[in-house]
Structures are given as structure tokens and as C-alpha cells.
């Protein structure tokens, strides 16, 4: 269900957005896992842990 899961969408960034090393398709919501490494651009990586 989309209302109980966390999604991330790349809104057309130049350098792309990655979840666990996989590049997201632009403008397509992608579900995050329980623990996800998210790379925003060439130098910023964050870890997101969901507690849903």
C-alpha cells in the first residue's frame, strides 16, 4: 500500500538520485526499503531507516 510505505522521487535532477546504488528513473516514485542508502548528487549520501 502506498500510504504505509515511504517513496522517493527524483524530480529531474542533473546528477540523479540513487537508492542502494541504483539510479532512480526521473519522476517515478520508488519505494524505500527498511534501511536504504540514498545518494543525492555526486557527494551526498544519507541512510534512511523506516519504522512503519
* Maximal CA-CA distance, the chain: 32
- Which residue do the cell numbers 515511504 mark? 6
What pTM was estimated for this model as a whole? Answer: 0.83
State residue 8's pLDDT score: 95
Q: Which residues are CB-contacts of 43 (< 8 A; sequence separation ≥ 6)? A: none
pLDDT digits (tens, 9 = 90+) for 1-52: 456 789 999 999 999 999 999 999 999 999 999 999 999 988 999 999 987 6
DSSP bridge pairs for 37 = 47
Rg of the chain over all Cα atoms, to the nearest angstrom: 11
Neighbour-count burial of 30, counting CB atoms closer than 10 A to its CB (0-12 exposed, 13-18 middle, 19+ buried): middle
Domains of the chain, by residue range, sit at 2-49
Amino acid at each position: 500500500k502506498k500510504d504505509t510505505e515511504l517513496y522517493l522521487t527524483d524530480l529531474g535532477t542533473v546528477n540523479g538520485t540513487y537508492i542502494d546504488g541504483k539510479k532512480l528513473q526521473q519522476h517515478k516514485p520508488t519505494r524505500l526499503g527498511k534501511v536504504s542508502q540514498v545518494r543525492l548528487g555526486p557527494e551526498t549520501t544519507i541512510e534512511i531507516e523506516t519504522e512503519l
